[in-house]
Amino acid sequence: MSKYFILGHFGGFNTGDEAMLGGFLNLVPKTSAVSIKYKNGVNVHWGDNVTLFHGSYTDFVAPIGPGDTLVLCGGTHFHDDYSPIRLLRHWLYLARINYLFDQAKRKGAQTQCIGNGFGPINEGITGWLTRQFIKLCDVVTVRDKNSARALAALDCKADLVHPDLAMLLYKPDRRVVKENIIGVSLTSLTSQSADTISDDVLVNSIADELTTFSATNPDALVRLFVIRSGNRESDAPIMNQLHQQLQSNGVQSEVYEFTNDLSELVEQMIPCRVFLASRFHSAVLGAVTQNKLIILSYHKKLVSLAEEMTMDRRYVIDLQQPTAATKINHLADTIGELYSANQLNYSFPETEILQLGEHVRTIYEEGLDFRVHANLRRAPQPGEPFVPAATRAAL
| Residue 259 belongs to domain with CATH number | 3.40.50.2000
Please report the sign of the dihedral spanned by the C-alpha atoms of residue 197, residue 203, residue 205, residue 209: positive
Q: Are residues 111 and 215 in the same domain?
A: no
Q: Is residue 321 part of a domain?
A: yes
What's the pLDDT score for residue 12? 83
Full-model pTM:
0.84
Boundaries of domain holding 257: 181-340
Contact 305, 144 (CB under 8 A): yes
Q: What sections of 137-279 are H helices per DSSP? A: 145-152, 199-216, 236-248, 262-269
d(CA 294, CA 291): 10
In a domain, 81, yes or no: yes
> Is 145 within the bounds of a domain?
yes
Q: How many domains does the chain have?
A: 2
| pLDDT tens digit sequence for 157-192 | 999 888 899 999 988 888 889 999 999 999 998 765
Residues 216 and 95 in one domain: no
| Nearest partner of 319 among 301, 342, 335, judged by Cα | 301
Provide the pLDDT confidence category of residue 350 given band limits of 50, 70 and 90: confident
Share of residues in the chain with pLDDT > 70 (%): 90
Judged against a pLDDT cut of 80, whether residue 143 lies above it is answered with: yes
- For residue 387, the model assigns a pLDDT of 38
Looking at the structure, tell me whether residues 201 and 311 fall in a common domain: yes
Residue 390 confidence class, pLDDT cut points 50, 70, 90:
very low
pLDDT in tens, 53-92: 999 999 999 999 999 999 999 999 999 988 888 899 999 9
Please indicate, yes or no, whether residues 202 and 75 belong to a single structural domain of this protein.
no
Q: Round to whole Å and give the CA distance between 107 and 110.
A: 9
Task: Give the CATH number for residue 108.
Answer: 3.40.50
Same domain, 141 and 203: no
Last residue of a domain, one of 340, 364, 379: 340
Q: Are residues 80 and 35 in the same domain?
A: yes
> Which of the pair, 156 or 173, is modelled with greater confidence?
156
Q: Assess whether 99 and 17 both reside in one domain.
A: yes
Same domain, 58 and 206: no
My answer on whether 160 and 200 are in the same domain is no
